[in-house]
Amino acid sequence: MATHDKVKVAVVGASGYSGIEAVRILASHPFVELSVLTSEHYAGREVADVYRHMAGIDLPPFEELRPDLVPGRAEVAITCLPETVGTAHTAELIKAGVKVVDLSADFRFKDAAQFRATYGIEHPAPQLLKEAVYGLSEFHRHELREARLVANPGCFPTGALLALLPLIRRDLIEPSSIIIDAKSGTTGARRAASIEQLFAEVNENFRAYKVGNHRHVPEMEQEISAALGRDIALLFVPHLLPITRGLLSSIFMRPRAGTTESDVHAAFEASFAKSRFVRILKPGELPELRNVRATNFCELAFILDRRSETLLVITAIDNLGKGASGQAVQNMNLMLGYDEAAGLLGAAPVP
């Protein structure tokens, strides 16, 4: 799309954490008009009545999602509904000619059997799995420019894959040695009532959860296996931080014999030379969540520890930014032929 006339965009499921973050970012996007916002809980209400930090911004009210709501009123939809909830609706949007960036895991797997194994149901639209482009922006720019359906990556996979894919592609590590230790803020879960998410449960606490059965593991394994050309199993340990937003990943692995610091640095430099949103830190600097909060940036640093023969890569992202809605907007920009940073270097106030 060569013109910079404003494109009409719908945010489906706009009142959840990732949905309202998408609205916040898109509200100041120079080439976007937000035309439809849906919410099952707040249909009929103004956005600023629910989220007061959005006051003063001209936005459409929340509406109840109907099959005929978006086609004709939007050219692009960013869908932020939970897994399996909006799959059939997304398929109808694609059929109607609406481009879709989907933030659920509904279209991340290429194999319907893997979807069934992970979520316990048959995929409602398996014909779209092969077509959907996995939206890790830095590694799929060419495919994204031709896509009509983008499967936005999960937050944990984004933080891990940005660290691992450059090294795997240059055969610098032993893939079987990979251990991913990641910590995320509470907005990594849905905006819904849950005992585990109560303030008294999270505050002054820090815990691992879903070790060995987290739904993001097969997603990471799929992408790493594709890069390797063979199947791989990963050890992934997610933790819940007593903070609102942010995701710090520490990835441990054994380097191949002869791998040097220069090799590792060159791999990252080559992979992210054209990337606006990956910051490779200077030696001695380490990623911090406060430096990426409410942004689409990823901070990345590595340490090659010769004493233990371990390569450690640390990444920091905002789980709602680069881990969700920020990356969704980056992918939308690529789909539409815009500068991929459009609307992402300055946005509405953050609550």
Task: Please give the positions annotated as active site.
Answer: 155
Region label for 204, one of left (φ > 0), alpha (ψ between -120 and 50) or beta (otherwise): left
Question: DSSP assignment of 264-302, as one string?
Answer: HHHHHHHHHTT-SSEEEPPTT----GGGTTTSS-EEEEE
CB-count burial class (<10 Å; 0-12, 13-18, 19+) for 195:
exposed
What pairing do the DSSP bridges indicate for beta strands 32-38 and 62-63?
A: parallel
Is the CB of residue 288 less than 8 Å from the CB of residue 316? yes
CB contact set of 183 (below 8 Å; sequence gap of 6+): 206, 238, 239, 240, 241, 247, 248, 249
Taking every pair of C-alpha atoms in the chain, what is the biggest distance, in angstroms?
62
Residue 107 structure tokens: 């279209």
Give the pair of three-digit tokens for residue 236.
């992934």
Q: What angle do CA 25, 27, 33 make, to 5 degrees?
A: 125
Structure token pair of residue 208? 């691992």
Tokens for 328, please give them: 């969704």
Q: Are strands 149-151 and 133-134 parallel, antiparallel or unpaired?
A: parallel
Give me the numbers of helices (H) and strands (E) for the chain, helices first please.
10, 14
Percentages of the chain per state (helix, strand, coil), in multiples of 5: 30, 20, 45
Nearest one of 141, 45, 175 to 334, comparing CA atoms: 141
